[in-house]
Structure 1
């Protein structure tokens, strides 16, 4: 977010150093001999980095103007490069995330513009005006800003970098991906003139397309993918990059993504496995990627593997009697033959059975129930008080999560690491679909982290997350500190967790309570990507602190967020749990049954 009221200003009309340069389809369309010593003005279209580098060899300067018509044509200007620069006089530019918070330097967000040059709206279109012209929280009272729909980043030198349109934002394996950001990095590679990226929705893989320059007619696509991995997350690196003579365009010269070809990930090697280890790996990889066969010289990532898939692939190899391969091994040795050499020297993994009884408690099993409900207690809490809910929820297969060190497992040492806690729950709970997660207080954050961990493993997520009296997973909000010694035994939170208990019982549960708080020390969410399921938030009417924090949960779901209040304090369900049971029956059973019955 910045404002530069004194610099720069628009060029004087009719300045002799500015001459029109028609829009170019390819670099070959330009007569560069006429550009020597001129200052070139670019406007109306994005200025590609390859075109900028090409023109800079001849032109004295390249001035790139950016701005939609809604901000009276131009809003920012840059000199000498493809960036869109800084705001013009009396113009303000903001790069904001999905919560309208300023994006940090180097982080992609949507570009908003404000200032005296902004239009009033669209004539006769009030709904579109309200959608695109929104309140400006950073400007004077009553001010508005224009939502451009363009993606941008702030550079460290205070200039803006244009990265494409939000119209080209796609969702890939739980991540929201900006295709323009990938295309910008791909187009910056040496020898690349134009670049495009699409999503193969059927196989959920990214496909890249490049048009090389005359100096590099046959670019090494493996080298291009390697270069992208140095600057982009793994899920943003295209599975395959195809070299084209020309990108398809529409009648008005825009990229026609619908005419880009679909490229199948054909195995590069037909050489089959030579031993038992290679056969095991080839079978597991082919099954994970949905391919009929793979060869031992094939590269996992060229075939479509990605980081979120590797955990499931490693588990599949263990189930087939293979070794315990670390995830790093797949990145270090992506060729199946190389991976087999590593696996041959490793001991066979002992696959531990799921220890459901050690991690959960049930009052009675209901295998034919339309959905399952997994309940996560508060800090130091026991599953005992939650399993009784099954008496009031006859259509629910209820599981109360109880990690080691809690409740009747208090003689075991509790886990003091959030990762160990979440991984233990994910590995030992069946999560029979469709299912709903309910978490009370700190347990709601555990439930949220479990949902994120399931998505990382490409497993089915919850139909609904019910958050009870809990702060959102926002690192800016404080987590309670862990008291020491005698102070812990008299801590209000522990007394509330075990009401009426004597000091000996509190002493037995104090370690579990402290361990739960310790696990969240320095807490940061596992993933910044919101959940796909809706969120239901519930608080007691007298729980002022929780009520004030609940609105923050809306940013952590791509679905809708519903808030309900019930009479009581932080533990509103203890005096009378029936209001909560009725709420759960109505709000939870609806989406869960819909997943069974269909539309």
Structure 2
């Protein structure tokens, strides 16, 4: 669609930099190396550029090819000693999908924003590399409020476990950053109680003047702030528009701890892979295609947690997906072209005559037609087809189908590259997937590349003891010099309600100890050197204490 010019003042950017210093950068005493991953047209680039340079840090400009490959991105982080990286949840997903990478990225702090951050995604990331425990700050905010308005920091695995115990699916967007005020209001623009969902409004410093040359839209989205004199508001906001608040269109609610839970969009605007998309714009362009009489577009979430655009159409003739893509490409960017298209005879309706979006069928198959199906002709094409089906969650693909016409995008291309290396012992690059986007072309490419064997870490030969790493030696010496035997222990408490079969619990732990050598490893001195010794068997017993309910609390606290 047509871009909206958002009029942001210099002072608002200054306030953003100050707020980021307070929440993030003040943690670190020395200059940092910061990775700039986003496109310069994405509002996140404002904080990446100005916060890093104005606060005296070093900004590293990462190429798009590197940012889309987990292996290359991790290598970049380590080569350039990156301390802080700012990206979307997709970047964590890319790092999670990296294969054959044994060394952690070594980044100290991640700023993540752009769309809802899945608790499961963070959990997988924090457990991918043993002992790697970066800080993750989840930020939220629209361009209209100068990039970020709230922030929530996951300090360690324990704070993530708290979210898991509460049954949270997405990470909280936190609390307002410096000089920002957040209000959650009902349809009458009245404050709602804690726990009640409402529309999120943002006031205070950083609110834009409005949209350039769009007075009607400005008046609709930037409205007078009736709470400006309330204690929630700053006494003297640094810009002239602190008497306004911005209506985000986001659904949210206050949590009892004072943080905010993001619940999605109120209207039909969605975020997919960091892009904010008005579904109505896609529907309007579909209706310009010859033969289409009605169109509805939704964001369909796949079993792997990724969202894709799905278009439902009623048309006077049968349409193929390639034809539809060709018709839409001059009018819409690629990320706004539907991945799925379902052609229906009629739309399901609610009792009051409106389209019943909840009753629309799942897009089990993409629109038929277009290119004729061509089955695999060689063992290599057959294996590639199987890999494509796993990555794209399809029952079948033809060797002349385009990867990007049948549901592929940059994240899935990253997964495809990893699987090809792992299962075919051949390495192709992400760039080559974009240039050779059919199974037929990729099979020819692999044949010319030859083999590049996928190797796993071999098991060490059996020894009486093994050398330790520098980090292990340091911890061993510190624990003896300073008497900090328990300093690096990570205690945790799990409350189980109902009958507990203690014997089975103990046996489960014994099986874990038997399976994992790490749990049977001790650190000892041999000939004046610290070594690690792996025992074949170790004793393990769960200590049991009988206590009343009040006494149990004392034991837990101690």
Shorter-chain TM-score: what band?
A: 0.3 to 0.5
**TM-score of the pair, normalised by structure 1:** 0.34
Q: TM-score, normalised by structure 2?
A: 0.36
Higher relative contact order by CA 8 Å / sep ≥ 6: 1 or 2? Answer: 2
